[in-house]
Amino acid sequence: MIYILSEENQSGKTTSLQLCTENRYDIGGFLSPDKNHVRCLMNLQSKEEIPFEIDLTSYSEAIEITGKYAIAKSAFDIGSRWIKEHLGTEKVKFIIIDEVGLLELEDKGFAGVLKYAIDNMGSKHLILVIRSSLHDQVVEKFALSDYKILKKNEIDPLLSS
């Protein structure tokens, strides 16, 4: 089943997911929490964190710019690898992609691995974090027909089921 956590910007979606997944090892994918006012990418299996949002003045590798964020392209590659690994990990029941946004609507960012995950999720559950303002566009772009909308207060009961 695909679940969509869809609420407004800066409403605590990532923080809620982080609290609910803290001591869980049956959850894969990644979150993009804010650490010291900079986004990182956190592997939900290993708890490894890598830089996601970068400072343009001190970064020389390839980047993607979306809105006010400059994001390391290498982070998209690493996050995509994590998703594919977790899809193949038996103990993982839920896979979270935080978040699906403007880049994915342009077939950039995590668009490729999102399509892969939808096609290869098997019995796993996929949780997509999407701003409510982009919900309809993402549903249409990725042809999502069988999904359920989640609110933050529904995350913990879902993961505990």
Q: Report the domain count for the chain.
A: 1
Q: Secondary structure of the chain in the HEC alphabet?
A: CEEEEEECCCCCHHHHHHHHHCCCCCEEEEECCEECCEEEEEECCCCCEEECECCHHHCCCCEEEECCEEEEHHHHHHHHHHHHHHHCCCCCCEEEEECCCHHHHCCCCCHHHHHHHHHHCCCCEEEEEEEHHHHHHHHHHCCCCCEEEECHHHHHHHHHC
Instruction: Check residue 13 and give its pLDDT.
Output: 86
Cis peptide before 49 (omega within 30 of 0): no
User: Domain range spanning residue 151?
Assistant: 2-160
For residue 114, what is the domain's CATH number?
A: 3.40.50.300
Instruction: Check residue 135 and give its pLDDT.
Output: 94
Encode pLDDT of 101-157 as tens digits.
999 999 999 999 999 999 999 999 999 999 999 999 999 999 999 999 999 889 989
Reported pTM:
0.92
